């Protein structure tokens, strides 16, 4: 699929939207790291495009005590792909993650 041809102004607008989304996701990961939000809070939120597009492995890595290896091992044990995003999780996968992560 070919990329759409954007005018210079449309390109600047798209880049700004992407920058804002990255900043919001980084802020959310920081809130998780500081304990202000939990995985349960994240899963309880409905139809938030910022949350929906975060990779599950990045959320888990944001938790205290979890790094890349431990997060990857958890996802493997639960049968969840490392490329899965929050919106793409099934109800059983969400429940399994909540059970393991409290």
As averages over each run of 10 residues, the pLDDT of the chain (102 residues) reads: 85 95 94 92 87 93 94 95 94 93 82
Identify whether the C-beta of residue 81 lies closer than 8 Å to the C-beta of residue 97. no
Q: What is the pLDDT of residue 2?
A: 78
Distance separating alpha carbons of residues 43 and 101, to the nearest angstrom:
12
Give pLDDT, residue 43. Answer: 87
Distance CA 24, CA 19 (A): 9
This prediction's pTM: 0.81
Using an 8 Å Cβ cutoff, are 50 and 21 in contact? Answer: yes
How is residue 86 annotated by DSSP? G
At 4 the pLDDT is 82
The two three-digit tokens of residue 49, written as one number? 């495009």
């Amino acid at each position: 699929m070919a990329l759409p041809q954007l005018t210079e102004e449309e390109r600047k607008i798209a880049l700004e939207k992407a920058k804002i989304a990255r900043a919001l996701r980084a802020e959310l990961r920081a809130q998780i790291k500081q304990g202000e939000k939990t995985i349960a809070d994240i899963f309880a939120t409905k139809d938030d495009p910022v949350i929906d597009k975060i990779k599950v492995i990045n959320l888990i890595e944001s938790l205290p005590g979890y790094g890349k290896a431990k997060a990857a091992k958890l996802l493997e044990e639960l049968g969840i792909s490392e490329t899965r995003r929050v919106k793409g999780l099934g109800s059983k996968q969400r429940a399994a993650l909540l059970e393991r992560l409290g």
